């Protein structure tokens, strides 16, 4: 599996490369109030409004302030596009599925697994859970 390793707010995460549509420079982000705080921003990318998430905020941390030096990772999970705010992409690596291990101490549904890379533990984002929660959140907003 191709894994993209990225950093946001001094924390390193990874995502399966098979879901990444594109990595782009920072563009204008429109913030709005959200009841459950999963999605509270949107970007207009190539004429489409894409829900945008800050991983720090999603994991119940303080929202990070992003600037023009940061990036956006555009993800497509079976038709559900998501924009993930990040500081920078650090690396892309091939990992074997047997190298992915379940977290025993972290209970976040968004970070169920990790792998070791260069003597560091790299959490692997659960894009399926994030995409389904965002889809549910957006459907609530419509009603």
User: Each residue of 115-131: pLDDT tens digit?
Assistant: 999 999 999 999 999 99
Q: How confident is the model at residue 35 (pLDDT cuts 50, 70, 90)?
A: low
> 8 - beta bridge partners?
11
Cβ contacts of residue 1 below 8 Å, gap of 6+?
16, 17, 18, 94, 95, 96, 97, 100
Q: Is the pLDDT of residue 48 over 70?
A: yes
- Please say if the pLDDT value at position 84 is more than 80: yes
pLDDT tens by residue, 49-74: 999 998 888 887 777 788 889 999 99
Do 83 and 73 touch, CB atoms closer than 8 A? Answer: yes
**Residue 10 in this model has a pLDDT that exceeds 90:** no
107: pLDDT strictly greater than 80:
no
Cα→Cα distances 21→29, 31, 63, 76, 133, Å: 19, 22, 24, 6, 19
Residues in the chain: 143
Which token pair is 120? 């560091």
Residues 86-92 have a mean pLDDT of 95
User: Predicted confidence band at 34 (pLDDT cuts at 50, 70, 90)?
Assistant: low
Q: Which residue has the higher pLDDT, 57 or 103?
A: 103
The answer for 9, left when phi > 0, alpha when psi is -120 to 50, beta otherwise, is left
Among 9-13, 30-34, 44-48, 69-73, the range scoring the smallest mean pLDDT is 30-34
pLDDT of 44 reads 94
Q: Examine the pLDDT at 141 and tell me if it is beyond 90.
A: no
The Cα–Cα gap between 112 and 99 comes to: 14
């Amino acid at each position: 599996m191709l894994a993209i390793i990225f950093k946001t707010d001094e924390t390193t995460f990874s995502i399966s490369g098979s879901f990444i549509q594109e990595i782009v420079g920072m563009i204008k982000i429109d913030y709005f109030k959200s009841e459950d705080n999963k999605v509270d921003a949107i970007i207009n990318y190539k004429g489409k409004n894409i829900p945008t998430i800050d991983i720090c905020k999603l994991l119940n941390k303080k929202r990070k302030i992003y600037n023009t030096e940061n990036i956006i990772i555009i993800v497509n999970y079976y038709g559900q596009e998501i924009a993930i705010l990040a500081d920078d992409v650090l690396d892309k690596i091939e990992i074997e599925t047997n190298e992915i291990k379940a977290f025993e101490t972290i209970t976040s549904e968004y970070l169920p697994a990790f792998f070791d890379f260069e003597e560091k533990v790299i959490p692997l984002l659960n894009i399926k859970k994030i995409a389904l929660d965002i889809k549910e959140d957006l459907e609530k907003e419509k009603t």
